[in-house]
Amino acid sequence: MMIYFGLLFTIILILANGVRIYGLPFTSFTGEYAQRQNEVFNTLNLVADLKKAYLFTWLKERNNDVQVLAESKLLKNTIETLHDTLHQLQRAGHTAPELWTTLAEHTSYQDLIEHFKWVKSAHTTYHSIQVVDTSTGNVIASTVPSELGTNVSQEPFFMQALQPANDGLIDIKPAVLGHHLDLFLVRHLKRANNLFALLIMNINNDDLAAMLQTAHSGLGQTGEAFLITQNLQLLSPLQHPQATGLSFSALSEQLKTKLTEQEGSVETLLTATDFLNQQILAAYRLISIIDSVKWGLVVKVNRQEVFAPLHHSLFYMFLIDAILSFILGVLFTGMVARILSHPIKVLSQAIQRIEAGDMNARAEISTYDEIGVLADMFNSMVERVQHTQEEMERVIAESAIELRTSNFSLVMTVEEMQDLNTDLEQEIIERKKVELELRKERLQQQIIFDSVPAFIWQKDLKNHIMWMNKPAVELSGIQANTPVGYSVKVLFPEGTESAYREDLEVIQTGKPTLGILKQMPTVDGRTLWIKVDKVPYIEEDGQIIGVIVLAIDVTARIQAEQNLVDSEQRFRTIIDTAVDGIVMIDTYGVIQLANPSLARMFDYDMDELLGQNISVLLPKIYAEKYTNYLKVYRETGDKSIIGVGREIVGKHHNAGVFPIHLTISELVLNNQRMFTGIVSDITELKEAQRALELQNEELKEAQEALELQNKAYNRFVPREFLSFLGKESIVDVELGDQVQQEMTIMFSDIRSFTALSEKMTPNENFRFINSYLSKMEPVVQKNRGFIDKYIGDSIMALFPDGADDAVQGAIAMLYALAEFNQGRERAGYTPIGIGIGLHTGSLMLGTIGGKNRMDGTVISDAVNLASRVEGMTKMYGTSLLITENTYGRLVDLNQYHIRIIDKVKVKGKTQAITVYEVLDGNLPEIRDAKIATMGKFIEAFTAYQQRHLEIAEELFQECFKQNPQDKAVELYIKRCQYWQKFGDYQTWDGVIQLESKDGLLVQDWK
């Protein structure tokens, strides 16, 4: 115990020193930990500011590098030569990958790459240098061979770099090859003040990271600095391997949250957990490159490393204090143990002498503390034990004498007891047999009583229940093993007095009382109806000592009888209050039952009807028919009249007739078949039906007249027009009704109709136009369009459900025109041509006019533009033109053959539109010829738009040689020649402004 006490004392000293050394700095805000953390934050602020300044200086040096390279005359001339060589190869028909292989072998490319490699060797900061063609977005030169020919036109950085304000841009972009971010610098390369290429220098991320880690370090062994983007992605690599471009959440969700909270701040300090789940201290600086490019600089140190010296000093202090505490505890424990162990040793020696048999041994008392008291108590206990031992020896000696005296008497008594025991055993065996038979008999009786579906109990003369069978026990709610003698009033409190009077009558007369009907509540809250029989309980000597009660549950029977009474009452009420007549007859037609409604319906009294034959309620023809039905049923059992409702005629008491509806059903009552009839007076129903039939005939005549009127109106106002206005009929339309809707507008016109009509009489003109329009109208409707109006030989149609309907409808019109021309040729007439223009846009459908004359019309700038596009078909020699709005709304462009035609400004418009030609629907030879040259035509048009007029003219000439009938190609050849001879094509924006509404006259190409 002393050892345990000493160890406890030592541990308390060590813990007290630990709390003194380690606890105080954490409980005081002005302690060493808080002071050390402030020092670290000051250092981080200083390092962050120095690294920010160094980063700006480093970026300025990189920007100077790319500026010097971009302004080099030699380099610029080499890139211009390479750019021209590329386009010459493209015009010569070279395509990828052959195009890039040939370009890489060209002298200008090799000179350029050698120059770039020299720059890279002089400045290891750059891992690649690229030149990108601005017109195509293709990489036309790169120090990384695999990047040659890569298209970056869809990359966000490319579109950003093309902006004039971004000459000298510094930003990040995904690497062309790989899955990381590149820091890049851009310079514009211009020729004649026109941007033709971008010089892009990609910085080595490892070099960026090395610069951040080495410049003004002061971050210890684990501290580091890194850059993040505006969307919290890593820009510079970390000392611990992490790919750039990863979301910053890969480092720490906590740090990411704190940086997000500081978004927009120029600088801040924070504590967090890094991606290695280690506590860090960090400083954040906002790095604003330009207004649209902002980065973040994070400088962090490991908290454990920062506080390691402080932890070490505290640990050594704790170790020294622990050793001193241990030594003091051991010395103190030894001294205390020596003082306390001497009295215990004396007591232990005395105990050992007593164990050896020396009862006179005593413990020497040398102190008066707890040990001295214990020694004194031990001496007293030894003295009492010694005295007790002497007394026991005396008692044992006296008892030995008495035992020897009584031993002789005991021997004689045992023999007598053996004889008596034999007789008792025989008697016990006989009694057990009798008791066993009695228990079996009682058990059988109990089983019989418990299985009887009745409540049985025995009562004494004092109205106490002495015994109950199992159902009675369950009814009363008492436990099966409860002692007998319960008062009846306790178990069945209700009706106790009347029941006791009945019991007394049985006891006094000695005669049973049978069939007593009464109610009895149960323990679960129900009330039972029971039938009770009571008989006297007579002993063997003939004395009445109580009453036996037998009660049977008749609740179900009582409820059934009551339900039957209620059911009969409800049935009688339903019969008497029913609106329809109800009659019950036997198989001979004699009325057994009728309700008041039936008597009133036929003008009879109730007493007059009962016992009459049903035939008195029917005219003679129906009476004979139903009498025959009953006869057939009696003889054959035919039930054809059962369950079928019929409309027949009834007869009033005064012989008047009226229409009725009769339904017959069959039932069996007291083993006798009966028929029940439901009779309804349908006089008012028949009158209403006749009135309704007359009304329907009138409505039908009015509807037919309205339909004829609507058909006549539909010839002048399309039904679709009414539908869009939300009207059912033309008569519902009011002046000013309107609705806005996006639709595709179609304009179609017959070519050279004026010259054609001059050769025909007015009658022939009308026959020709109607013959043509009757061919086109079904085609428009079949493709879910409707014709808004006919303007002479022109058609204006609307397609509300989509641009595809309009394009397919136009193609179908061209096919229908081909069939129409075949008929004209067979009849000896000249074939005709049409032009179709489509444009998709928002328009207003509505009514205009005055009080006495109004018309439905469409108002929209989109309508005018569709008309202009149709007029342009003459200039380009095409049959079907669509605008860029329609082109952009086509669901599947692959099901059509479409080529771009031009970018124009039509008469009265300030915005240029792009126009496309749909080749489908043309005659096969025209369509196939244009499809064959479509690829070269688009290439020529692209060169034309980029102002490479010599190349464009050469390509258009090649198209013209393959298809001399292509009027659009011929027009573009003339334009190229005009521009080269007269136009200032260096400032031309590629848009043609048309003077007239039909687009045939060119006013200004500049």
Please tell me the distance from the alpha carbon of residue 157 to that of residue 711, in angstroms, as a whole number. Answer: 62
pLDDT at 165 (0 to 100): 74
Amino acid at 419: D
CATH architecture of 719-1004: 2-Layer Sandwich (3.30)
Of 299-308, 497-506, 970-979, highest mean pLDDT:
970-979
Q: CB–CB of 520/492 below 8 Å? A: yes
Q: With bands split at pLDDT 50, 70 and 90, how would you rate the model's confidence at 931?
A: very high
For the segment 23-39, the average pLDDT, to the nearest whole number, is 60
pLDDT at 884 (0 to 100): 93
Residue 263 has pLDDT above 70, yes or no: no
Q: With bands split at pLDDT 50, 70 and 90, how would you rate the model's confidence at 927?
A: very high
Residue 962 has pLDDT above 80, yes or no: yes
Please tell me the distance from the alpha carbon of residue 953 to that of residue 216, in angstroms, as a whole number. Answer: 63
Q: CB–CB of 835/748 below 8 Å? A: yes
What is the location of CATH 3.30.450.20 in the chain?
Answer: 58-206, 452-557, 578-681
pLDDT at 146 (0 to 100): 86
Amino acid at 498: S
Q: With bands split at pLDDT 50, 70 and 90, how would you rate the model's confidence at 243?
A: very low
Q: CB–CB of 125/182 below 8 Å? A: no
pLDDT at 25 (0 to 100): 46
pLDDT at 1005 (0 to 100): 44
Residue 886 has pLDDT above 90, yes or no: yes
Give the C-alpha distances (Å, rounded to integers) separating 689 from 264, 646, 648, 686, 698. 83, 17, 16, 5, 14
pLDDT tens sequence across 848-879: 555 555 555 667 788 889 989 998 999 999 99
Q: CB–CB of 808/918 below 8 Å? A: no
Largest Cα span, the chain: 175
- In this prediction the pTM is 0.37
Residue 712 has pLDDT above 50, yes or no: no
pLDDT at 870 (0 to 100): 92
Residue 804 has pLDDT above 90, yes or no: yes
Give the C-alpha distances (Å, rounded to integers) separating 528 from 452, 453, 523, 553. 17, 14, 11, 7
Please tell me the distance from the alpha carbon of residue 74 to that of residue 94, in angstroms, as a whole number. Answer: 27
Q: Which is more confident, 896 or 36?
A: 896
Q: Which is more confident, 550 or 856?
A: 550
In degrees, to the nearest 5, what angle opens at C-alpha 351 toward C-alphas 345 and 353? Answer: 110
For the segment 398-422, the average pLDDT, to the nearest whole number, is 61
pLDDT at 879 (0 to 100): 93
For the segment 261-280, the average pLDDT, to the nearest whole number, is 67
How does DSSP assign 624-657, residue by residue?
Answer: HHHHHHHHHHHHH---TTTT-EEEEEEE-TTS-E
Residue 715 CB partners (closer than 8 Å, separation 6+): none
Between 934-945 and 924-932, two packed helices, what is the crossing angle to 10 degrees? 50
pLDDT at 4 (0 to 100): 57
pLDDT at 918 (0 to 100): 96
469-473's contacts with Cβ under 8 Å and 24+ in sequence apart are 472/551
Superfamily classification of domain 578-681: PAS domain (3.30.450.20)
pLDDT tens sequence across 625-638: 888 888 887 778 77
What is the location of CATH 3.30.70.1230 in the chain?
Answer: 719-1004
Out of 138-152, 708-722, 922-936, 990-1004, pick the least confident: 708-722
Q: CB–CB of 936/981 below 8 Å? A: no
Residue 244 has pLDDT above 80, yes or no: no
Q: Which is more confident, 964 or 528?
A: 964
pLDDT mean across residues, the chain: 76
DSSP bridge partners of 483? none
Residue 29 has pLDDT above 50, yes or no: no
Q: With bands split at pLDDT 50, 70 and 90, how would you rate the model's confidence at 97?
A: confident
Residue 365 CB partners (closer than 8 Å, separation 6+): 372, 375, 376, 379
Residue 997 has pLDDT above 50, yes or no: no
Out of 521-530, 601-610, 944-953, pick the least confident: 521-530
Q: CB–CB of 787/780 below 8 Å? A: yes
Superfamily classification of domain 452-557: PAS domain (3.30.450.20)
Name the strand (E) or helix (H) holding 189.
Answer: strand 181-191
pLDDT tens sequence across 940-956: 999 898 888 899 999 99
pLDDT tens sequence across 738-778: 567 788 999 999 988 877 878 888 888 888 888 888 899 99
Percent of the chain with pLDDT over 90: 13
CATH assignment of 58-206, among 3.20.20.70, 3.30.450.20, 3.30.70.1450, 3.40.50.1100: 3.30.450.20
Please tell me the distance from the alpha carbon of residue 128 to that of residue 200, in angstroms, as a whole number. Answer: 8
Residue 786 CB partners (closer than 8 Å, separation 6+): 718, 719, 720, 721, 780, 797, 798
Please tell me the distance from the alpha carbon of residue 805 to that of residue 889, in angstroms, as a whole number. Answer: 11
Name the strand (E) or helix (H) holding 955.
Answer: helix 949-962
Please tell me the distance from the alpha carbon of residue 48 to that of residue 284, in angstroms, as a whole number. Answer: 7
How far is CA 233 from its chain centroid? Answer: 30
pLDDT at 855 (0 to 100): 55
Q: With bands split at pLDDT 50, 70 and 90, how would you rate the model's confidence at 963?
A: very high
